[in-house]
Amino acid sequence: MAQSLASVESALNWWLKPKVFGESWDNIGLLVGSGKFTKDEKIITGILVCNDLKPAVVEEAIANNANLVISYHPPIFSGMKSIAYGSWKEQIIAKCLAYDISVYSPHTTLDAVGGGINDAVIQALAEFGSSDAPLNSKAIIPSPILDTPKTGLLYTSTFDNVSTLCRLLSANSYPDVAISIDTNSSKGTASVKFYSKLESSLGMSEIKKIASATEISDFSNPNEAPPLAFGAGRFVSFAKPIDFDRVVKAIKLGLQLDYVQVAFAGKSEVNTVAVCVGSGGSLLKDVAADMFITGEMSHHAILDSTFGGTSVILCNHCTSERHYLPQLASIVKLLTNIDHVIVSRQDSSPLSLSN
């Protein structure tokens, strides 16, 4: 299937709500359109997802006939005054325009949305919860759309059925409803959760009516979705103390990392963890927790944390984020019904270890 650029943008915005979940300083959403067509005229036939849009990634998109790139980090961020022959970012935007490749960036919306990148890090710690006491995280800075985690509506079915439901519902923005999507490629299933802080939400009522009208048996009566956080960062408390080394090992395994950097504050057991993917220093600095998990922090922020009693786990900026790309690709495929959605193989960390 192929979809117009306008339809793809609308589907992504329905899920990620850039005006709600995006930080005010960020540059997110559709950043590069088309030099040839309007949004309704341009047809998206292939999508490539990446963490950073670099020259090799643009070439990869061209080679794989992907005419939309979803780049987690925005390639246009601050003060681009020309698209000529100057910086490498100017050159990649110029090449995208030359080959009619559109660019969309989710960035902080993907950090804030329930079930997004920060929650994927929390999921790496799921073994420390139980069926009786699962890990329930909260946002460090809750989103106004859902300032307190609460139960919602849960629809689970085959991937195709959930795709059909989401594409039906995305015709309406539902400004009072927060949305979380999860897919399981190995089982061919997916789920979508809807939350609202309003006791009588017109959006939630309409969602139930539309889901029921599909006549898909799985959607006749929604299940109760467990509480889920929406907003910047995540904070979780364990039911009982966890050995420090076990937490570190779980993060390495869950994020598929060969190593992490550790600044140990002296506590051998962990009761509370705060998470912020990417560069978490400013968000985490005033949070009281036994451990911070982030991509990078400044030297002085690490010293302030450890001497304040908080250990720090650094996963590298982009590797704290890149592990989510396969799930992002799957969700994009579900939302757009475009089959040709691939994860970049040319996108990698600029840093490597040297002996």
- Binding-site residues sit at 73, 111, 317, 321
Please give the Cα distance from 242 to 33 (Å, whole number). 48
Q: What is the residue type of 54?
A: K
Tokens 């991937």 appear where? 159
3-state secondary structure of 319: helix
Residue ranges of the annotated binding site for a divalent metal cation are 73, 111, 317, 321
Read off φ and ψ for residue 314, nearest 5 degrees: -105, 125
How crowded is residue 240: how many other Cβ atoms within 10 Å of its Cβ?
9
The helix-helix angle for 202-213 and 159-169 (nearest 10°) equals: 130
How crowded is residue 105: how many other Cβ atoms within 10 Å of its Cβ?
26
The two three-digit tokens of residue 49, written as one number: 């997802």
Decide: 311 and 244 in contact? Cβ < 8 Å: yes
Please give the Cα distance from 334 to 161 (Å, whole number). 9
Contacts of 14 (CB under 8 A, 6+ apart): 166, 169, 170, 173, 174, 179, 335
